[in-house]
Amino acid sequence: MLTPIKTPLVAKKMFPNYVWDIATNEKVLYLTFDDGPTPEITNWTLDTLNNYQAKATFFCIGKNIEKHPDIFKAILNEGHAIGNHTNNHLKGWKTLTSDYLANVTKAQNTIDAIIPKDFSGNTQLFRPPYGQIKPAQGKALLGQGYKIIMWDIISFDWDKNISKETCLKNVTNKATKGSIIVFHDSVKASKNMQYALPKVLEYFSEKGYVFKTLT
Ligand SMILES: [Zn+2]
């Protein structure tokens, strides 16, 4: 299946219980970073966001949080939001619902053990890896209080077949007020992401946009 850069309205309407974008007339964008925490890359991402007073949301993999709890804490300390991206980056369509839910819970237990008791953000944001989630899985997670965050724009930063310039244009040409934008703080995506992110921040900041966390 070919994933479009910008999620079509028809897809958003098919799954209205999932969050695809934030309705607003203000110049706000919601950057998201999946698959970390990753040594070097996540720290670089935090520094780059900081240069533009930009906030973002990091959808972390449970096993990566276990390996790098210090980086996970740094994300929180800098005022960003965090979300659950399963414990082992599971494909929902290929996973039994009971196994999928157990894997999300495992990641959540890791998150909850680290998050400070006085943390004021939402600790139950969830993004399905690959955007793949069966209706039964989605329904169960919504029932457990999770918000399921999809996206409006995918940068395709991980795709080795696109140039870094194309990755940048995927975002600058398509993002609009309230867009949720996907990047990855992973080694695989780093070549394109580390080129595109500062330019996205520069481009939209000059146009008066601010970058906020999802809540
Ligand atoms: Zn992912």
Determine what percent of the chain is predicted with pLDDT higher than 70.
99
In a domain, 26, yes or no: yes
Is 68 labeled as catalytic in the residue annotation?
no
Q: What is the pLDDT of residue 117?
A: 87
Q: Which residues, including other chains, have CB under 8 Å from residue 16's CB and lie 6 or more apart?
A: none
**Interacting residues of 10 by C-beta distance below 8 A, sequence separation 6+:** none
Q: Which of the following is catalytic: 34, 35, 152, 185?
A: 34
Asked if pLDDT for residue 180 goes beyond 90, the answer is yes
Q: How far is the CA of 35 from the centre of ligand 1 (A)?
A: 5
Candidates 68, 80, 85, 184; catalytic one: 184
Tokens standing for residue 42: 């996540």
- pLDDT tens for residues 104-120? 999 999 999 999 988 98
In the residue annotation, 35 being an active-site residue is answered as no
Report if residue 190 sits inside a domain: yes
Residue 3 lies in a domain: no
Q: What is the number of structural domains in the chain? A: 1
Predicted confidence (pLDDT) per residue in 191-214, tens digit? 999 999 999 999 999 999 999 999
Q: Containing domain of residue 32, as a range?
A: 9-211
Note the pLDDT of residue 96.
98
Query: Does any domain span residue 2?
Result: no
The confidence band for 43, taking pLDDT boundaries of 50, 70 and 90, is: very high
What is the whole-number distance in angstroms between the Cα of residue 199 and the centre of ligand 1?
Answer: 23
Domain assignment of residue 1, yes or no? no
Has residue 96 been placed in a domain? yes
